Amino acid sequence: MAEIVKINIDGIALEVTKGTSILDAAKSVNVKIPTLCYHEDLCVAGNCRVCVVEVEGRKNLVASCAAPAEQGMVIKTTTPKVRRARTDIISLLVSEHNTQCTTCYRSTNCELQSLAAEYNVDSERYLSVLKPNIQVDKSSYSIEKDDSKCVRCQRCVRTCAELQHVNAITVAHKGRDMKISTFMELPMNEVVCVNCGQCVTHCPTGALTERRYYHEIWEAIGDPDKHVVINTAPSVRVALGEMLGYPVGTRVTGKMVTALKKIGFDSVLDTDFTADLTIIEEGHEFLQRVTKALKHKEKVALPMITSCSPGWVKFIEHMYPDHLDHLSPCKSPHQMFGALTKTFYAQKIGVDPSKIVSVAAMPCAAKKFEANRPEMKSSGYQDVDAGLTTREIGQMIKQSGLDFVNLPDSNYDSYMGESSGAAVIFGATGGVMEAALRTVYEVVTGREVPFKNLAITPVRGLEGIKEATIKLENVVPEYSFLEGAEVKVAIAHGLKNARVIMDQIKNGTSPYLFIEIMACPGGCIGGGGQPIPTNDEIRKKRIAAIYAEDEGMPIRKSHEVPEIKKIYETYLEKPLGHKSHELLHTHYKKRNRY
């Protein structure tokens, strides 16, 4: 049984488990202690000292994020000594910071700016020691790095190392020359970066941001010769409201569609349509591999792994290049959408595809890189012209002057606007697997999955690696060789968990047939392009909204969507057919580890 200690914080007596940090103890009784280097997702660093408190009997102030509560502690969080120390620390951080806050992308959502305002710090308390001529690194399609705004809290370094096991950025040099840098101080586009953007969502200032492309999209919208189409990912609709006056976890699907139409997009379509297509293609690919392996005894790459997450795809290209054959060849849904926009959709509406500007509203920074991959031109053009994050879409709506809260709801436009609840849950970790199982199980057995209300609960939740076993009984004749088989699947989110899964495959010990991997913690709802902040509490609320959206949909399975059936009948011909391979599938590239 855990040992309990008694402490006192600002006159409040409380009991906590021994080892609980002073910061967490204070949170439990609603005492706010400011922080900067601390983040719930990461290990404790204790290097900014903003969270210092006074402990009776101790000469020096202690960092509350790193100091454990001990029996009999009397802690004071707002004494003059504490306030003077915090003010000095914040002032020193401001003195080496680029304080052009009025033009900073993170203005009004910057933790240093908020602390400076709270402690009435201005830029004149100490002389500025900001180094001159610091260049912003805009080499990456996905991420901008501005060292003039870095407070050296190292949250980005810990994120890249602890959550993602990539180590694209690290601490270089010492003392006043210490900085956050890359291998050999190379530009971001030349290092092993998977473009996931988790460093961006964990950065407290504007030192790391996504590359922004909405200015170009505004220009395209204003060009009468352009036909601008946008498709919106499932995770955008459950997070966009956070930027526009709604509580976390509010679904704003209809208002989002209305806003995008009023902004001037010629057509507003749903990425969920091609998420359903992904399930049809990926599900048939999985069954094809299983048939070859178990019925025909052919050698195929199993387990098969999903390929929806471009950050994950680039991770395996760098870290496990000899195992790329395990990836499904299916493009991510938004890249499928881009290819179909400039082929199928262009034919349907009679528009020259060279005049179409295809925009993807995504929760993801890596989609920006993916859109610029040379493989993504199967339409004869760049399939997706720009990937915009949820944050960028929020900024565009603000710039448009729309009263978002009072907008009426609208439906997506037709042609690639109809979808299922299975597609919506792509946004949550486990969602792609659940959507695939809803279809694959029914194809093999002729029956719905044996879970109440189609909710395959073993694949849900925020556990880093989840497992499920589905037993196949009373199968249809075509799949008689699977009678009694137990299909073991796994779901991983966050690349540190992906590494565990891949090491099993590399060592030949993987027990699974089918695996879903998402680069970002929580899946797309926790993507690098989502509103800031993001933590587990926020992820859970967004996930709950995703599942609520699914349950409210009239169609819950990808293979039952009328528009999906129709596009195969009139255009794609059949799953895994020639046209599908041409437009919906891709190949991958072995990349260097260093």
Residues taking part in catalysis: 282, 285, 308, 328, 367, 370, 375, 524
Q: How many other β-carbons are positioned within 10 Å of the β-carbon of residue 548?
A: 13
Using alpha carbons, list the distances in angstroms from residue 13 to 56, 80, 82, 143, 228: 15, 22, 20, 46, 60
Torsion angle (degrees, nearest 10) of CA 189, 195, 198, 201: 80
**Rounded distance, CA 244 to CA 252, Å?**
10
* Cα Dmax for the chain: 80
DSSP state of 428: S
Q: Across-strand partners of 358?
A: 229
Using alpha carbons, list the distances in angstroms from residue 532 to 114, 200, 203: 14, 9, 9
Q: How many CA atoms lie within 13 A of 69 on its CB side?
A: 26
**Rounded distance, CA 41 to CA 39, Å?**
5
Torsion angle (degrees, nearest 10) of CA 315, 316, 317, 320: 130
Q: Which of 474, 444, 481 is nearest to 296 (CA)?
A: 481
Contacts by residues 470-476 (CB-CB < 8 Å, ≥ 24 positions apart): 470/437, 470/441, 472/441, 472/444, 472/445, 473/445, 474/445, 474/447, 475/444, 475/445, 476/444, 476/445, 476/446
Task: Give the burial class of 111: count Cβ atoms within 10 A of its Cβ; 0-12 exposed, 13-18 middle, 19 or more buried.
Answer: buried
Q: Which of 512, 535, 520, 435 is nearest to 466 (CA)?
A: 512
- Please identify which residue in the block is written with the tokens 């169609």: 555
At 432, the amino acid letter reads: V
| 43 close to 162: Cβ distance less than 8 angstroms | yes
**Rounded distance, CA 187 to CA 166, Å?**
16
Q: Across-strand partners of 13?
A: 8
**Rounded distance, CA 411 to CA 269, Å?**
9
**Helices 390-400 and 214-221, packing angle to 10 deg:** 50
| 461 close to 483: Cβ distance less than 8 angstroms | no
**Rounded distance, CA 104 to CA 101, Å?**
5
Question: Which pair of tokens denotes residue 530?
Answer: 């989502």
Q: Which of 237, 284, 228 is nearest to 256 (CA)?
A: 237
Question: Which pair of tokens denotes residue 593?
Answer: 């580890």
